[in-house]
A and B are shown apart, each in its own frame.
Chain A
Amino acid sequence: MNRLPRMTLLLLLVALLGGCGFKDIDKRFFVVALGIDLTDNEKKPYRITLQLAVPSPKIEPGASMHQIETIDAESISEGVRMLKAYVDKELDFGHCKVFLLGEKLARSGYEDVLQFMSRRRDIQSVADIAIGRPDAESLLKIKPVSERYPGNTLFLSFGSDGTESSYTYVESLSDFSRRAGEEGLDPILPVVMKDKKDSFIMNRTALLNKKKVKLILSPSESQLFNQIASDFVKSSMHGNFEGMPLVVSITEIHSRYRFVKLEGDECLERSKWELCSRKRRMACSSRSGRTSRSS
């Protein structure tokens, strides 16, 4: 009999639980991509574009549906709050894997945007971040023909799940915020452009300083950068070998660098670069070269 009152007490405790604060999945709007642009309006400088996934029973290429919501606001978090009045379901950033910064914004200063993204708890630090050219809004409105899930095309283009291109530099939010704060490192972001049809091109890389974009590399420079900085292997190289045109598929890349101090404050970066190809193993040693470049 001693057990009965105890169990009753335990069951009564359950009544204290107020139900969880979580909302059901059908009461949520999953944001799959967020774009931030700069407007010309000084009072409302940020244009926020949310790509919201619309669940559909069909999973086949081209069946993905998304809803776009756009708002101009004074700050990003305020804009997101205001957008809640535009939709019927709770906005959830838990699945937001792609962030696009408009080129204009990236050229004028990214600090506020970075603060917003690294402080919001439901934004993943592993999300990909890129610069949208000419602006993020028009890129998010694209509906690619082959897309199976909303927002999947952009997401697959980054990372190694889908395509792996030697021209695309992949930047995560945590790496971006590290580079923005660290001494001796500067942020690098890929640039996404719109094709004439409904697809994306991402073969350029932007080099930034602690505030804004300084330089945008051309596609071939972007590839060279990927090969040197992140030892990106799946790439090829072409040139002339004893008067014969030659395309070599690269299987191994090693890059090493060290800083050599010259007189005064000038520093010289001396880097050594070694490439290997499976088919022409002989060529690999002759391919190693020495480039020197002042930094």
Chain B
Amino acid sequence: MNRYVFYNFILVSFINLMLYVPHILIQYRYTGAVSSIAAGSVIGTVLLYLYTSALARYPGKGLPEILKIHFPGWPATVLTLFFAIMWWFATTVVVVAYAILINRFFNPDVNTTVILLTLVLACGYAATRSTLTVMFVIEIGVIINAPIIMFILFKAVRSPQLNWDAIRVVANYITAMPSITALAAASFVFTGYINLSLFNRLFPPNFRFKFRWVYPTFGLAILLVTFFVPIGFHGTETVNRYIYIWSVTADSLLMQYGFIERVLFLFLIVFLNLTLVYTMSGCHQAMEFIKSCLPGEKAEIDSPETPVSNYVIVSCFALLTMIFQLLTNEKLNMQITSYWLVLRMFIEFFSVIGIFILSRRRSRAV
């Protein structure tokens, strides 16, 4: 069962490319990105350990149920609704960014709204399935796509084009103090554990979190590659010219004997899959959070019939995502994302500490 934890972690750490994390970090490359990576991984690791040890005390319970145990009626509802909005917003940012990316790199003649509608419909339908089904879809998505991403990352790291001098120059700016935005961006890579807020429902009572050291190691490796490889490819100065930095980096690679010579297309297709899976998982979690606030609703992980409320809630999400896309543009979307990353870091910090304290208090009372 520990692999389900790992899938969630791996999915979120890969999806950081869609949330402009590399671009944000690279903007701060002389002013604290490197130290933010160090500090962010420490924060991420500590939170991961705290949250998993807290959840170990609530086997088979999701975040809404835990809140209901400790708080009376309305504060629990308000908190759960708030978390639902945070989750929904993450998926919105990712899916809107991908719709724009398709417009930029696949076909500039296509209308972004139509692409987004197609993506949202597919993800929305998948999100209405039961929690267990969603988890299986995540598993399949990660198993199919992660090896290809690892291949691209490996190819990038081993490329003779990679200029280690540029990487060394930037790494020497480690003494610059971390900045809050860069810290938020760096710690996002480690935030996959927060998806257990819902998926903890799937775990049986005798479940134990094992191999927890794997997560920080893996997260740090991904973060270092995400940040340093584009710098090695484009140099310390030119690297800041690109927003979709990893798409451009993938385009600088050549698969001479692959079916397609340009790595860019392989990269884009793999990230399309990951974006769809991430959006589905995020939408589903937000939906379940809202459902848990409805009166008389019982948490089910694999209901034989899909409740009507699923369709209603997810349709609302889809509609809101479309409205968000119509109201914002690319630049605004990026700015909002960086604010959201900071907000997310604080929310996560306080909620994880809060849940940890609650879990200890409960054990003392019992």
Contact = CB atoms under 8 A, between A and B. Distances in A.
Contact of B238 (A121, A161, A177, A184): A177
B233 interface: yes
Interface residues of B, number: 26
A185 B235 CA distance: 9
Given A124-B262, A125-B248, A125-B251, A178 B234 contact: yes
A179 B166 CA distance: 11
Contacts of B237: 181-183
Contacts of A174: 161, 233-234, 248, 251-252
Contacts of A245: none
Interface string B234-260: 111110010000001001111010000
B112 interface: no
B297 interface: no
Contacts of A180: 238
Nearest to A177: B238
A182 B167 CA distance: 12
Contact of B236 (A125, A177, A183): A183
A175 B161 contact: yes
Nearest to B111: A18
B195 interface: no
Given A22-B107, A121-B105, A121-B108, A179 B256 contact: no
Contacts of A181: 234-235, 237-238, 241
A182 B238 contact: yes
Nearest to B117: A16
A20 B110 CA distance: 8
Contact of A182 (B105, B236, B262): B236
Contacts of B166: 182
A179 B238 CA distance: 9
Interface string B198-234: 0000000000000000000000000000000000011
Interface string B87-109: 00000000000000000110111
B27 interface: no
B251 A124 contact: yes
B154 to A, nearest CB: 18
Interface in A78-124: 121, 124
Among B109, B238, B241, the one with the most A-chain Cβ atoms within 10 Å of its Cβ is B238
20 contacts: A18-B114, A20-B107, A21-B107, A21-B109, A125-B252, A126-B251, A161-B256, A174-B233, A174-B234, A174-B251, A177-B234, A178-B235, A178-B238, A179-B235, A181-B234, A181-B237, A182-B235, A182-B236, A182-B237, A185-B235
Top-9 shortest CB links A-B: A181-B238, A182-B235, A174-B252, A178-B235, A21-B109, A181-B237, A125-B251, A125-B252, A126-B254
Interface of B: 104-105, 107-110, 114, 161, 163, 165-166, 233-238, 241, 248, 251-254, 256, 261-262
Given A21-B107, A184-B165, 8 more contacts: A121-B104, A124-B251, A124-B262, A126-B253, A178-B235, A182-B166, A182-B236, A182-B237
